[in-house]
Amino acid sequence: MIVFMGSGFMQAGHGVRCEWGPVGAARLAEDIACLVVVDILSFTTSVTVAVEAGAQVFPYRWRDETAVLFADQMDARLAVGRSMATETSPWSLSPAALRRAPFTPRLVLPSPNGSTIAASAGGSTVVAASLRNSTAVGGWLADQGYGTAERPVAVIASGERWPDGSLRPALEDLLGAGAVIASLRRRGRDQLSPEAAVAAAAFAGVTNVGTVVADSCSGRELIDGGYADDVAIATELDASSVVPVLISGAFTAAG
């Protein structure tokens, strides 16, 4: 067990870095200019769907009584869990449900993974990325000057959680992170850490992202639970040009 974590764990000196989960995000946040959150089968895909429809999305860590109060303070609708959506509360972490739901200009989207990571960024710029907008995100980052040794970007694969609460690395998030990193590299950002390079290689090695994600552990779980449409939307590769950026506490489409 490693107790002491030195500066090497920050992937220092590299313009494009990659890590897993909230702990990894908090670690890299100490030494980056921009943090990219990737949570393919829930949070960031839902963010892209809502933001491309014109909504502002407020991340929140947990859906509890404090989330209800927060939504009231923000004059926003509060999203519920997939299985909790109703006719009177149709907004949820399901991208398909968000597409069907009536438009709301302000939405609070609780998530223990993606939202927690967004909150780890400190003063860094925060971007929500998915397979749906990976090329657009990479292009925007490069245009803003991110991805260099002077202005490093950290791409965070959110992962899922085992029943005991520990991090479960998720294939779909590795591929999503790799897609963003590959887009950055195509724009000349080639100062990749080994972790980032391997993520990009993993994405490049997949010929059919939709099939792979659908057959993964996370994909099967959703499909078996009746949410095949969510998997299909999450794997609409480069279907969106929207780049959600966290501005004043809400993800909003970059100008």
Amino acid identity, position 228: A
Lowest mean pLDDT among 71-80, 113-122, 137-146: 113-122
Q: What angle do CA 164, 165, 171 make, to 5 degrees?
A: 110
What does the pLDDT read at residue 4?
41
What does the pLDDT read at residue 88?
78
What does the pLDDT read at residue 6?
65
Q: Is the pLDDT of residue 3 over 80?
A: no
What does the pLDDT read at residue 7?
67
163-187 residue pLDDT tens: 998 999 999 999 999 999 999 999 9
Q: Which domains does the chain have, with CATH numbers?
A: 13-253 (3.90.1560.10)
- Could you give the C-alpha distances from 75 to 7, 150, 244, in angstroms and in order? 42, 38, 20
Dist. CA 74–CA 168, nearest whole Å = 32
Average pLDDT over residues 89-108: 94
Lowest mean pLDDT among 16-20, 119-123, 126-130: 119-123
User: What does pLDDT average to over the chain?
Assistant: 93
Q: Sort residue 52 into left (φ over 0), alpha (ψ -120 to 50) or beta.
A: alpha
186-234 residue pLDDT tens: 999 999 999 999 999 999 999 999 999 999 999 999 999 999 999 999 9
Percentage, residues of the chain above pLDDT 90:
80
What does the pLDDT read at residue 5?
60
